[in-house]
Structure 1
Amino acid sequence: MNHLKCCFIAGSVIGAVACALGLILIPVGDSVIGSTVKKEAVLEEGTTAYENWISAGAPVYRQFWLFEVQNPDKVLNGSIPQLQQKGPYTYRTRYIPKENVTFYQNHTVSFLLPSGAIFEPSMSVGPEEDVVTSLNLAVAGVYSLLNHMVANMMIQLSGSSLFQKRTVKELLWGYTDPMLKVKLGVFHPYNGTYDGPYSVFTGKDDINKVSTIDSWNLEKTLSYWNNTYCDMINGTDGSSFSPFLDKKTPLYFFSSDICRSVSAEFDASVDLKGITVYRYMLPSQTFASPVENPDNRCYCTNTQTTRNCTLAGVLDVGACRGTPVLISLPHFLHGSKELQELVHGLNPDPEEHSTYLDVEPITGFTLRFAKRLQVNMMYGPSKDIKILNKVKENTVFPILWLNETAALDDDTAQRIKAELFSRIDTLETVQIALISAGAVMLVLCLIGVCVVNHRSRLSFIA
């Protein structure tokens, strides 16, 4: 009986030790994982972050939907434009690795982002030679920038009109305009150009600063908005963030496409190829009017195009782009009602037209994203420009919208799961096994000790 009791006591001790070991492994394991992630998240040669950062692993695509005008002649006589989107026309972009990568002793790294676009016929509704009736970029430009009498003379001498027929390739990447005698295009010039230089923190001295932009175009602030707040360059470029995300904390990133910084808020946890990611969305207030969002007051630089800063949904980037371009979300999502009323054929859909980032919360890597923007220009009635004498009223006219997107591929997903999550899963399995087995052994052995003691007392009484 004593021998059996000793065995149970020994089992209890072993069980307690196993439980304790399992509990000890929790903070120890978290510490090991944390230090490993922080080490691999630093932007320096040899780390996982650097390999993903130096060259986009997953293909990045830009899909374009162009707005075709169904009734161009009637618009000139006062009718509302009837639009029909045509697309997608898809191009592969960001396929060229970063250039001029230079590391500095203050734990920053500078680089250039080369621009390039390759047409993808299999992902498009037709060839680049498809013809679209769209807004005449030159006419809309001189309407906004020049004296209207001068603009009228230029328009009449060149025989230009408010709308023009152009191929998709011409409208996107450039054509020689007969009035201005220069090359125009929504994204001209693009191929062979660069975004930057950027300078970002490597995170080597402070992992919370990893990928945060230190300067862009050799400046630490912008100069377009003439305001300290709006000219701030906040956050990263959106491709990655500091590790161990907190759902309650917004993510900040700078987009050179819209010449400003924005924030994204946690929306939901999403499964991406077996990896749980946090989906962050642009708030509906991002392009709100200053009446609704006072923080946007300094982004309102043109009272004419924004109805004295009461128009929601558009951002005038003329000071940044050098051309009178207005940026919005596709189909004027979250925009003022009048934007929808001045053109027909739009159908804003949050599911299809919102911008989002899917970020892995432990590493801070963006594993999927969809950046959706619309390019618009403005025209309106003019007594001095003959072709605009009868148009209805000032109209923010959509030219096209784009979806720049990339997603984690199967091979990379398997590598991430194998290199990171398999270790975490293994550690958690060991912890659970030790705690569970130890607890069961402890309880059973304590019961055994009680039974042996009870039987000993009964034997003594008998």
Structure 2
Amino acid sequence: MLGKNAKLFFCGSMGVLVAAIAMAAWGFPKIVQSQINKNLQLENSSTMFEKWRVVPVPLTFKIYVFNVTNTDEVNEGAKPALDEIGPFVYKEYREKRILGYGENDTIRYMLKKTFYFDEEASAPLTQDDEVTVINYSYMAALLTVNDLMPAAVGLVNTALGSFFTNLTDPFMRVKVRDLFFDGIFLNCIGENSALSLVCGKIKADKQPNMRPAEDGSGFYFSMFNYLNTTESGPYDMVRGIENIHELGHIVGFDGAPTMRYWGDPYCGQLNGSDGSIFPPLNQIVPDRVYIFEPEICRSMSVGLVGERNIFNISSYLYEIDESVLASKLANRNNKCFCKKNWSANHDGCLLMGLINLAPCRGAPAIASLPHFYLGSEELLEYFEEGVKPEKEKHESFVYLDATTGVVIKGLQRIQFNIELRNMKSVPQLEKVPTGVFPLLWIEEGAEIPAELRQELHQAHTLLGYVEALRWAILGLAILLSLASGWCASRATGVGLCARQHNSVSFIGNNFDLNKG
């Protein structure tokens, strides 16, 4: 009877051991990951949904301006000397308006950004500070005309004398509030036919930087007013319900599945998220993470650096690298971002570290990383002083929580430039040196706030307990199986212990025989 019970005990314990192994290897991780996925998916009942819809804390939006300190010398052909002024800090609030749900597990929404000047963080700088910068819209107008009708440049330049106030050179003296958001007035009232042509083209192109005056007398040029309180989109994003690894992926923008501006499938593809949400990384850790940027009409990527600990949270660090804005010689996939006829010194593509925004913005703008970080040395040689790329100050990066994919900290930096070109037919440009001239650069980013950081810590602690529990259960099952095996061997008189006794006796006998 005792032997029968021992055998039943042994069989039962082995069943428990098999179940414990299955739970430890598959069951517990599956259950935990399923719960994490449920909280991350973009549906009304999930923990993440409302935090995604209305970002609970404002992002920080910083602007650094390149103030030109030697305009007279540049007008005579000297290298530009620049003085970086900033940061001018704004709080950026983001809110999404849900339009509906589509096929293939997608959600459609509009994104609204609202900016408020942060006087405390900007001090001692104010929005009324005056700077001297490259006249962005003036150069854009002349470069556009020069590319289309070079013979008309002189005529158009004469008209632009009425369009701009005090047009004596390719620079403007302006308050930063007007340059950033309020707008610089550009006059369209006059009898000059070329002026009507310029204003008519601006109206037809609907350039985002140009806001029509309410009385129809002209336009207001600003760098970022079109972003402020104006909805962009619609975006079509994967919700992650059917496949959590597709969570946050943008599959449509402005009613199209690709960016039509580049005329190429590779450059036009929509990759990555809007930067607010990513899939969990604990099962699949990608070598690259993509973020779609509608302001430059393309996706930017950051490459995996490795595991890091930030705010006492295990994370993965991703950083931008030179392949993103590489020339076509360094990255042939970037050839579709080229700008034709940029310079007689090059093959129709921009230098390393630059991207042509003309197809996207409707004006000959050029983007780069701040201070031409990761760009060609040729870009730096153009300046006397004031341009010095540094990794810590000018790179873009993101820390993603290893378990949930939540953004712990991220900074995205980009610089806006325009070509200053020597044109003999234009008095203001007949002596200036030709080169890529920076106007300003921005830093947009955020880090997880203390209260959300605490929630993440608590979730990680709970996961630690669950992890310990599954191994504890497995350990107990192993001990139980060992104990039941011992009991079974004692009850039947055979098994491990008996076999060990016979073995010792046998070896002992052999020893005696050899000795004899």
Normalising by structure 1, what TM-score?
A: 0.88
- 2:172 is the alignment partner of 1:164: yes
Q: Within 5 A, what are the aligned runs for 1:198-209?
A: 198-209=235-246
Instruction: Assess if the C-alpha contact under 8 Å between 2:322 and 2:353 holds in 1.
Output: no
- 2:336 is the alignment partner of 1:338: no
Q: Match of 2:445?
A: 405
User: CA–CA distance in 1 between the matches of 2:9 and 2:76?
Assistant: 94
User: CA–CA distance in 2 between the matches of 1:232 and 1:451?
Assistant: 69
Q: Closer, same or farther in 2 for the Cα pair 1:345/1:13, shift >3 Å?
A: farther
Q: Could you tell me which amino acid in structure 1 is paired with residue 105 of structure 2?
A: H
- 2:210 is the alignment partner of 1:211: no
Q: Match of 1:136?
A: 135
Q: Match of 1:69?
A: 68
Q: Match of 1:265?
A: 303
Q: Match of 2:412?
A: 371
SS of residue matched to 1:113: strand
Q: Closer, same or farther in 2 for the Cα pair 1:285/1:153, shift >3 Å?
A: same
Q: Within 5 A, what are the aligned runs for 1:93-108?
A: 93=92, 95-104=93-102, 106-108=104-106
- 2:153 is the alignment partner of 1:148: yes
User: CA–CA distance in 1 between the matches of 2:14 and 2:311?
Assistant: 39
Instruction: Assess if the C-alpha contact under 8 Å between 2:339 and 2:350 holds in 1.
Output: no
Q: Match of 2:435?
A: 395
Q: Closer, same or farther in 2 for the Cα pair 1:154/1:171, shift >3 Å?
A: same
SS of residue matched to 2:270: coil
Q: Match of 1:380?
A: 421
User: CA–CA distance in 2 between the matches of 1:350 and 1:356?
Assistant: 11
Instruction: Assess if the C-alpha contact under 8 Å between 1:377 and 1:397 holds in 2.
Output: yes
Q: Closer, same or farther in 2 for the Cα pair 1:15/1:128, shift >3 Å?
A: farther
1:315-362 deviation per Cα after TM superposition (whole angstroms, max 9, x unaligned): 111121122211100010111111111123111112221111222232
Instruction: Assess if the C-alpha contact under 8 Å between 2:127 and 2:175 holds in 1.
Output: yes
Q: Match of 2:291?
A: 253
Q: Match of 2:38?
A: 39
Q: Which moved more, 1:162-171 or 1:435-444?
A: 435-444
SS of residue matched to 1:81: coil
Q: Could you tell me which amino acid in structure 1 is paired with residue 299 of structure 2?
A: S
SS of residue matched to 1:203: coil
- 2:284 is the alignment partner of 1:276: no
Instruction: Assess if the C-alpha contact under 8 Å between 1:138 and 1:177 holds in 2.
Output: no
Q: Could you tell me which amino acid in structure 2 is paired with residue 88 of structure 1?
A: P
2:265 to 212, 228, 231: 228
Q: Could you tell me which amino acid in structure 1 is paired with residue 457 of structure 2?
A: K
SS of residue matched to 2:274: coil
Q: Match of 1:325?
A: 365
1:41-86 deviation per Cα after TM superposition (whole angstroms, max 9, x unaligned): 2211010221221111232111111111111111101111111111
Q: Could you tell me which amino acid in structure 1 is paired with residue 179 of structure 2?
A: L
Deviation of residue 39 (structure 1)?
1.7
1:175-203 deviation per Cα after TM superposition (whole angstroms, max 9, x unaligned): 33356642111223332312111111222
State how many pairs are aligned. Answer: 452
Deviation of residue 148 (structure 1)?
2.1
User: CA–CA distance in 2 between the matches of 1:47 and 1:301?
Assistant: 45
Q: Within 5 A, what are the aligned runs for 1:273-312?
A: 273-304=311-342, 307=346, 308-309=348-349, 311-312=351-352
Q: Could you tell me which amino acid in structure 1 is paired with residue 405 of structure 2?
A: G
More helix by share: 2
1:243-286 deviation per Cα after TM superposition (whole angstroms, max 9, x unaligned): 33533442223111221123322112222323211111222111
Q: Closer, same or farther in 2 for the Cα pair 1:414/1:13, shift >3 Å?
A: farther
User: CA–CA distance in 1 between the matches of 2:391 and 2:461?
Assistant: 35
1:421 to 457, 460, 465: 460
- For structure 1, the 5+ residue unaligned runs are none
- 2:222 is the alignment partner of 1:193: no
User: CA–CA distance in 1 between the matches of 2:285 and 2:393?
Assistant: 23
- For structure 2, the 5+ residue unaligned runs are 146-151, 189-217, 491-495, 505-516
Q: Match of 2:213?
A: none
Instruction: Assess if the C-alpha contact under 8 Å between 1:291 and 1:310 holds in 2.
Output: no
SS of residue matched to 2:227: coil
User: CA–CA distance in 2 between the matches of 1:162 and 1:329?
Assistant: 23
SS of residue matched to 1:205: coil
Normalising by structure 2, what TM-score?
A: 0.79
Aligned-residue identity in percent: 25
Q: Match of 2:199?
A: none
Q: Match of 1:113?
A: 111
Q: Match of 1:81?
A: 80
Q: Which moved more, 1:39-48 or 1:324-333?
A: 39-48
1:122 to 117, 120, 123: 120
User: CA–CA distance in 2 between the matches of 1:302 and 1:273?
Assistant: 47
Deviation of residue 410 (structure 1)?
1.2
User: CA–CA distance in 2 between the matches of 1:87 and 1:447?
Assistant: 76
SS of residue matched to 2:262: coil
Deviation of residue 155 (structure 1)?
4.4
C-alpha RMSD of matched pairs (Å) = 3.1
Deviation of residue 106 (structure 1)?
4.5
User: CA–CA distance in 2 between the matches of 1:76 and 1:271?
Assistant: 51
Q: Closer, same or farther in 2 for the Cα pair 1:188/1:384, shift >3 Å?
A: farther
SS of residue matched to 2:225: coil
User: CA–CA distance in 2 between the matches of 1:186 and 1:399?
Assistant: 10
1:148-176 deviation per Cα after TM superposition (whole angstroms, max 9, x unaligned): 21243134455312112111111111433
- 2:98 is the alignment partner of 1:57: no
Q: Match of 2:392?
A: 351
Instruction: Assess if the C-alpha contact under 8 Å between 1:131 and 1:166 holds in 2.
Output: yes
User: CA–CA distance in 1 between the matches of 2:122 and 2:444?
Assistant: 14
Instruction: Assess if the C-alpha contact under 8 Å between 1:174 and 1:186 holds in 2.
Output: no
Q: Closer, same or farther in 2 for the Cα pair 1:178/1:257, shift >3 Å?
A: closer
Instruction: Assess if the C-alpha contact under 8 Å between 2:108 and 2:236 holds in 1.
Output: yes
SS of residue matched to 1:99: strand
SS of residue matched to 2:226: coil
